Amino acid sequence: MQSSAQYETIKDFYPREDVLQMDRAIADLPDIPLAENEDLFRIESLGLQWDIGVFITQPSDEEKVMRGPDGRKTGFFLLHGGDGDFKSLSILARQLAGKLGAKVLSMTFPGRLYLQHPSRDWPGDTIQSNGLLRTPIWREGEIIGPDQYDVVQDSSTINRLRYGTRTLARAKPGTIFWDRMAAWPVAFEEAMAVACARHFPISEYAVHAHGHSTGGAFSAKLPQLVENVVGQTELETAPIGYINEVKHDWSGALGKIGNYERVSMSSHRRTDAFNELYIRTWRDLARYAGPEALGQEGPPALMRLPWLMEEVLAAWEDDRTRPNFKAEYPITHNIVASLEAAAQAVSDRLQLAGQEHQKLVEKFLSFGRYDAGSGVRPVQPIFYINSANSRDNSPEAFNEIILPMLAELTPAPRVKATQLGAGTHIYYKAMPELPVGLTRAAAFLWRQAINDGFFSL
């Protein structure tokens, strides 16, 4: 990869003691008083209206604002992972704003914000006792009822190995659920651009994109969409779809969790349909808890399986107030057939034909890959940070798949990947001596990279 001596201070690996020192260094900085507020706005995309929510966390004192080497204010655009909303990002946002002085915009995926209550906490469970499923709210007052979907139980061996039994809400053709499940990716991309325009004026801000886990496939596109997004600051992320597709299939990328070899749970290409909404349950916490316990405790963790499950179920009581449904697989795994089918569904509704239809198909296929060609903004610098006990990210996956594939781009972006000797995929999870998880260590390293000019081209 392209590198420079001035970036050699970013190591490939930081032992746990280094992580603790970085955490303490940020914790010891003076607290910056914050101003926080929600911005709820409506856009129109593909003939439908969409309510988009972002949450702003920033210094209340202009004199405390962080600035980069070019003198512009520093901004961060954050996207959550597959289960969450803006609240999943609050710990990281408050470190970046309350310690560094950055302005932070945390965006909730379209449909994930609970618009029916000011708290934005989702009530009840994702699967109710009467069989009803939790469904997105893409526009205030619009409810997706059970007449709009079929409930599907996926107990196939290949998926059960990873997830247990999966529950899906399969949208029926001719319903608003079907229409929105086809169209939301375009609304998502347009909403990101609108949110940046509303809160990060180009002449004032240099913005850094971050997407946790699933969110990484979307933050990867933002620097090519918005001209003052100067790169990616990623912590426990997924790469863009076409790279993640290869990473998912490559059994050699399994590597280790802690000191233990990973076990391949599947090596098949995903085939999720665009109209299938995956309803998450406690099982999604369990599929992370097992590998993380293995990495942190070793095989004896299985000897306390009842205790471990108690922890999972207790955590679910809190976690289920977040959205916990997911439709992003066609993009995060670049499922071309599903993207083409979604484009066809939108095209049918809008009665598009010829060049208009083909343009829409190309738009959908672009979600899983970087834009290329003359006049296109190059892929901007990327700084990846991963944890010691990540279920999803290993050094092998980065060194053998992600970094070499990024190096094939023309021009190749500046990229650095580092691993911290602590933590898990849920990077904001409290741990002994790390009360806010890895968020302070990430803030420390990102500040260093910004100040050293890593994102300055």
pLDDT in tens, 179-204: 999 999 999 999 999 999 999 999 99
pLDDT tops 50 at residue 7: no
pLDDT average, residue stretch 224-237: 97
pLDDT tops 60 at residue 44: yes
Residue 291 pLDDT grade (very low, low, confident, very high; cuts 50, 70, 90): confident
List the single range of 16-30, 258-272, 379-393 with lowest mean pLDDT: 258-272
More confident residue, 261 or 184: 184
* pLDDT tens string 63-80: 999 999 999 999 999 999
Give the predicted TM-score (pTM) of the model: 0.92
pLDDT tops 60 at residue 250: no
pLDDT average, residue stretch 166-174: 97
Output the pLDDT for position 396: 87
Output the pLDDT for position 253: 47
pLDDT tops 80 at residue 8: no
pLDDT tops 50 at residue 292: yes
pLDDT tops 60 at residue 435: yes
Give the orientation angle of helix 354-366 with respect to helix 336-350, to 10 degrees.
Answer: 140
Residue 390 pLDDT grade (very low, low, confident, very high; cuts 50, 70, 90): confident
Output the pLDDT for position 2: 38
Quote the percentage of the chain above a pLDDT of 90: 81
pLDDT tops 50 at residue 251: no
Output the pLDDT for position 392: 80
More confident residue, 389 or 205: 205
Output the pLDDT for position 257: 57
Output the pLDDT for position 263: 53
Residue 259 pLDDT grade (very low, low, confident, very high; cuts 50, 70, 90): low
Quote the percentage of the chain above a pLDDT of 70: 93
pLDDT average, residue stretch 101-129: 97
* pLDDT tens string 293-326: 888 888 888 889 899 999 999 999 999 999 999 9
- Average confidence score pLDDT of the chain: 92
More confident residue, 375 or 33: 33
Residue 395 pLDDT grade (very low, low, confident, very high; cuts 50, 70, 90): confident
pLDDT tops 70 at residue 402: yes
Q: Looking at domain 5-451, which of 3.40.50.1820, 3.40.1390.30, 3.50.50.60, 3.30.1020.10 is its CATH number? A: 3.40.50.1820
